[in-house]
Amino acid sequence: MNFFTEYIDEMKSKGLYRQNQVYQPISASHVAIDGREYLMLASNNYLGLTHNDKVKAAAIEAIERYGTGAGGARLTTGTHPLYEALERDIAVFKGTEAAVAFNTGYMANLGIISAVMGKEDVIFSDELNHASIIDGGRLSGATRVIFPHSDMAKLEELIKNTPCKGKRMIVVDGVFSMDGDIAPLDKIVKIAKEYQAMIMVDDAHATGVLGRGRGTAAHFGVEDEVTIQMGTLSKALGAEGAYVAGKKELIDFLINKARSYIFSTALAPATIAAAHAALKEVMNSSALVERLAENGQFMRDELMKYGVNVNQAETPIIPIIVGSAQKATSIANTLNEQGIILSAIRPPTVPVGESRLRLTVSAAHDKKELAKAAKKIAKALQDEGME
């Protein structure tokens, strides 16, 4: 048993210990802990759709009509008609021939990359890509070449100089989850064309956010150049699960080869119905996506008013780098006492010395509350000797 406690003690001594905290969601922007209300600035519920009346009604209706669970994997127990409708609309939304849903983004990345890439192949992966992309690459057995974050000159140099007998893939987060910046997909397309590499983009944080909600490829107008567009149903779409959109042959291939798709019970009907209702909200009106962008800029402007250094991406993710894990935890705790929840992001999620506060803005946030929170965040940073 020492093995377990030694690890935990080490994590505690480094300020890296993690613990589940019980938060009771009370709206799309607030949670309660022990009866006290907190402003939530740590959620990926970017459009506030978790609490949208139509989305909730769709989930409730699906339970009433179809029960609670899928009962088995899609290829053995049968594909639910709700899936068909969802996948058809994802393809319409993304402007692709077809789409297929996975149970989570993590499973999608694991399944896609390990199915598409193999021993003879080379994956070129941004150093800040999500853990699920890293793990998918490991599982694939392909050679993995990590390029410095969004460094296109280095990417090109590495592609040029890395021998490859099989396929090449360049894979990036569309919006980087811990930094909130956007992958330069337009430039990646040029490099990919020159070296016959396929592109995979993970739109977990770009779906419902960039390109009128359609993702990073739409943001840059390069939809036809990206072979694999993956995204999640769990963040801006307020449900659970993931999708892959692309050509019919890609989708057919994944259904036949992606092990995380084949060997796992399908999503529950309520989840599929909620994701579809949320998608329709984004397809039918750009209002929420626009409000999200407005709130993101508003929060950045407020923080900058107090001299806080923030990124300037058109995304809802605002990292504030503080350095040590202890400092990040201490500032997050101080803000917590003042009724604000934001994340202290520490190694191994980010490199040592780059611990940060990560705050995320939602379309559901009220500007007055964001302004008050910005003032408190700036004060907490100052009190810790940060500017």
Ligand X SMILES: Cc1ncc(COP(=O)(O)O)c(C=O)c1O
Active-site residue set = 177, 205, 235
Nearer to ligand X, 80 or 130 (CB): 130
In the bound complex, what is the minimum distance in angstroms from residue 176's beta carbon to ligand X? 7
Nearer to ligand X, 173 or 223 (CB): 173
**Where is 359: in which H helix or E strand?**
strand 355-360
**Separation in Å, CA 378 to CA 30, 120, 201, 310:** 21, 51, 34, 11
In the bound complex, what is the minimum distance in angstroms from residue 337's beta carbon to ligand X? 27
Return the structure tokens found at 195: 């070296």
Residue sitting closest to ligand X (CB)? 105
Nearer to ligand X, 104 or 216 (CB): 104
Q: What angle do CA 186, 191, 195 make, to 5 degrees?
A: 145
> What is d(CA 329, CA 43) in angstroms, rounded to the nearest whole number?
17
Nearer to ligand X, 267 or 277 (CB): 267
Is the Cα torsion angle 15, 16, 21, 27 positive or negative in sign? Answer: positive
370, 301 in Cβ contact below 8 A? no
Nearer to ligand X, 198 or 209 (CB): 209
Residue whose token pair is 């896609």: 112
> What is d(CA 263, CA 75) in angstroms, rounded to the nearest whole number?
9
Q: Which residues bind ligand X (CB under 6 A)?
A: 104-106, 109, 130, 132, 173, 177, 202, 204-205, 232, 234, 242
Nearer to ligand X, 173 or 181 (CB): 173
Nearer to ligand X, 106 or 220 (CB): 106
- Bridge partners for 99 per DSSP: 245
> What is d(CA 135, CA 155) in angstroms, rounded to the nearest whole number?
20
> What is d(CA 333, CA 331) in angstroms, rounded to the nearest whole number?
5
Residue whose token pair is 């705790």: 333
In the bound complex, what is the minimum distance in angstroms from residue 59's beta carbon to ligand X? 17
In the bound complex, what is the minimum distance in angstroms from residue 33's beta carbon to ligand X? 22
In the bound complex, what is the minimum distance in angstroms from residue 374's beta carbon to ligand X? 24
In the bound complex, what is the minimum distance in angstroms from residue 23's beta carbon to ligand X? 17
Determine the 3-state secondary structure of 104 from DSSP. coil
In the bound complex, what is the minimum distance in angstroms from residue 234's beta carbon to ligand X? 4
Q: How, if at all, do strands 143-147 and 168-173 pair?
A: unpaired
Contacts of 93 (CB under 8 A, 6+ apart): 213, 214, 279, 282, 283
If you write DSSP's letter for every residue of 309-356 in order, what string do you get? -----SSSEEEEEEESHHHHHHHHHHHHHTTEE-EEE-TTTS-TT-EE
Give phi and psi for 57, each to the nearest 5: -65, -40
